[in-house]
Homo-oligomer: A and B are copies of this chain.
Amino acid sequence: MEKTIIIGSGPGGHTAAIYTARANLQPLMFEGFMAGGVAAGGQLTTTTEVENFPGFPKGIGGPELMMLMREQSVNNGCTIKTQTVDKVDLSVSGGPFKVFAGNDTYETHSLIIATGATARRMHVPNEEQLWQKGISACAVCDGGLPMFRNKPLVVIGGGDSAIEEATYLTKFASKVYLVHRRDELRASKAMQKRALENEKMEILWNTVMLDVAGEDVLTGVKLKNVKTDEEYTLEATGLFYAIGHIPNTEFLDGQLETDAQGYIVTKPGTSQTSVEGVFAAGDVQDKIYRQAITSAGSGCMAGLEAERYLAEKGIE
């Protein structure tokens, strides 16, 4: 019987691991094997340079930062299994809970879920080759990079967050094209007003992206107007997907309260889920901030709360 199991290995999972390990809880982490379509370490493993994680003034590679965190979890006494959890049994509120991975079943007094979210992509033919070489799913993370300054950029999407990201990018870009497949936006009226009034932004209506162009870095996107069937290549050094994220909560099979989009609902200002003894951290419960540092902060909260929960129950 474990004292605490952590599912997920991004900044949230590893910070929870560091805190619970230092509290002598001997945490067991399932870091996953290409879980949610990304390597162990989470979304940061799909980025190159991280410039906004505090403590690294020269920036640090995303995979490198996650290797450091993993080393820190292990140094402090966390055991890590490179397996993806298939399902869990949370039917006993207050635990113990069951975790199923491969052919094995594990039992634990407390559980921390930090399985993250996966950004939706279009999966056009040349996307993989140019990923992070001009293509990104996070304007706030990557928008300020030199390669995007005073250049034309493309945002794909039509919701509030697409407008928000496009507006953010107008700070840096010479021009931001918002590519939208319909002739109206899903975004709120206020957001639409911002988009239409912004001189640096142009909305390309009734337009879909067929592919990306470029050898070593992105140089443009291949577009098609679905009304006129016209196909053309638009010059751009940056392509930002803003077509949503998928929280990795399917394995929970509805055993925790989630919102309409599948994000785990936590009591605001805490990491507590709808089941006593189960805590959530990182992007799996955050659709607002989605940053490595906010994820790490919430991982710390989950670690401290799991520790206090176990102490209250007298589990040492």
Q: Which residues of A line the B interface, CB within 8 A?
A: 11, 14-15, 18-19, 22-24, 51-57, 60, 65, 68-69, 71-72, 75-76, 140, 144, 164, 167-168, 171-172, 190, 194, 268-269, 289, 291, 293-301, 304, 307-308, 311-312, 314, 316
Contacts and interface: CB of A to CB of B under 8 A. Distances in A.
Q: So how many copies of this chain end up in the complex?
A: 2
Given A55-B55, A291-B304, 17 more contacts: A11-B54, A14-B54, A23-B140, A23-B144, A24-B172, A54-B68, A55-B65, A164-B308, A164-B311, A168-B307, A268-B269, A293-B296, A293-B297, A293-B300, A294-B301, A296-B296, A297-B300
Contacts of A293: 15, 293, 296-297, 299-300
Give the dominant DSSP class at A's interface.
helix
| Most chain B beta carbons < 10 A, residue from A15, A71, A167, A268 | A15
Contact of A296 (B19, B68, B297, B316): B297
8 contacts: A18-B54, A51-B76, A57-B69, A140-B304, A168-B307, A194-B312, A291-B297, A293-B299
Nearest to A22: B144
Contacts of A314: 194
B311 A168 contact: yes
A232 B55 CA distance: 45
A304 B289 contact: yes
Contacts of A294: 297, 300-301
Contacts of A14: 54
A11 B75 CA distance: 24
A298 B54 CA distance: 12
Contact of A167 (B52, B60, B167, B311): B311
A75 B57 contact: yes
A23 B140 CA distance: 8
A140 B307 CA distance: 11
Contact of A56 (B52, B55, B190): B55
B68 A194 contact: no
B316 A171 contact: yes
A71 to B, nearest CB: 4
Contact of A23 (B55, B168, B291): B168
A53 B297 CA distance: 10
A268 B269 CA distance: 5
Contacts of A194: 311-312, 314
